């Protein structure tokens, strides 16, 4: 397991990307964001978010990894939830995981171009997952890159939805959360987040 104090806090360096920030600095968000490349199932944290499918019965990608490490009790608890709609979020225990809870959310499937519908549902995933966390008094949450694997959402578009939705939620609820970790798995996603984090969490 990887303890949270081993995951560095992300800090923007002035002039990092050369692009104009989309948000002003919010000092209360300093020290609350991390970018971590690796396996989300290793994180010792209040909650990890699962990019699940509507059945909540496990699948490939990050979902499969989470169920493998959590074990059969997770599947049993998920079965009682009777599925999950796209954009919704449901919470379970973490069982064999070092994370205390798993927040399951179902991302949109993209076939062809990304439309407003897909973008809104991806936003819902991040927003509802953060709501689930704060409703349950959880203070630290890690997200995978929802929908960007098998579900086909272009990672270069998804990164903006992820960062903007988290930034807006934290603007309103920063006192309820201590850390949000963007957990990337692919080196290409790490680059996308490194390039775009300064636009949403700019330095002073």
Which residues sit at the interface with ligand ADP, rule CB under 6 A? 39-41, 51, 60-63, 65, 107, 144-151, 183, 185-186, 189
Question: In whole angstroms, how close is the CB of 125 to ligand ADP at the nearest point?
Answer: 9
Give me the helix-helix angle, 187-200 and 155-173, nearest 10°: 40
Nearest CB to ligand ADP, comparing residues 140 and 148: 148
62/199 with CB nearer ligand ADP = 62
In sequence order, the 6+-apart residues with CB closer than 8 A to the CB of 119 are 157, 161
Among the listed residues 127, 136, 125, 63, the one whose alpha carbon sits nearest the alpha carbon of residue 100: 136
61 versus 202: smaller Cβ distance to ligand ADP:
61
CB of 85 to ligand ADP, least distance (A): 14
CA distance 118 to 194: 24
| Residue among 107 and 202 whose Cβ is closer to ligand ADP | 107
- Give the nearest distance from C-beta 40 to ligand ADP in angstroms: 4
Q: How far apart are CA 105 and CA 108, in angstroms?
A: 10
Nearest-approach distance from CB 137 to ligand ADP, in angstroms: 25
Would you state the structure tokens that stand for residue 113, as one six-digit string?
């171009």
* Spatial distance between the Cα atoms of 204 and 188, rounded to a whole number of angstroms: 27
């Amino acid at each position: 397991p990887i303890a949270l104090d081993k995951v560095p806090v992300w800090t923007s360096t002035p002039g990092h990307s050369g692009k104009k920030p989309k948000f002003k600095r919010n000092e209360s968000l300093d020290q609350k964001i991390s970018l971590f490349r690796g396996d989300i199932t290793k994180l010792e944290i209040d909650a990890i978010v699962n990019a699940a499918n509507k059945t909540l019965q496990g699948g490939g990608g990050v979902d499969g990894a989470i169920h493998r490490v959590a074990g059969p009790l997770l599947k049993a608890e998920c079965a009682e939830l009777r599925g999950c709609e796209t954009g919704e979020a449901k919470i379970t225990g973490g069982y064999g995981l070092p994370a205390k809870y798993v927040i399951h959310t179902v991302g949109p499937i993209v076939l062809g171009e990304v439309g407003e519908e897909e973008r809104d549902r991806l936003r819902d995933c991040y927003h509802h997952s953060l709501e689930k966390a704060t409703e349950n008094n959880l203070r630290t949450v890690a997200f995978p890159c929802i929908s960007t694997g098998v579900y086909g959402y272009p990672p270069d578009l998804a990164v903006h939805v992820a960062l903007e939705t988290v930034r807006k939620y934290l603007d309103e609820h920063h006192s309820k959360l201590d850390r949000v970790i963007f957990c990337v798995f692919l080196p290409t996603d790490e680059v996308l987040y490194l390039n775009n984090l300064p636009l949403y969490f700019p330095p002073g």
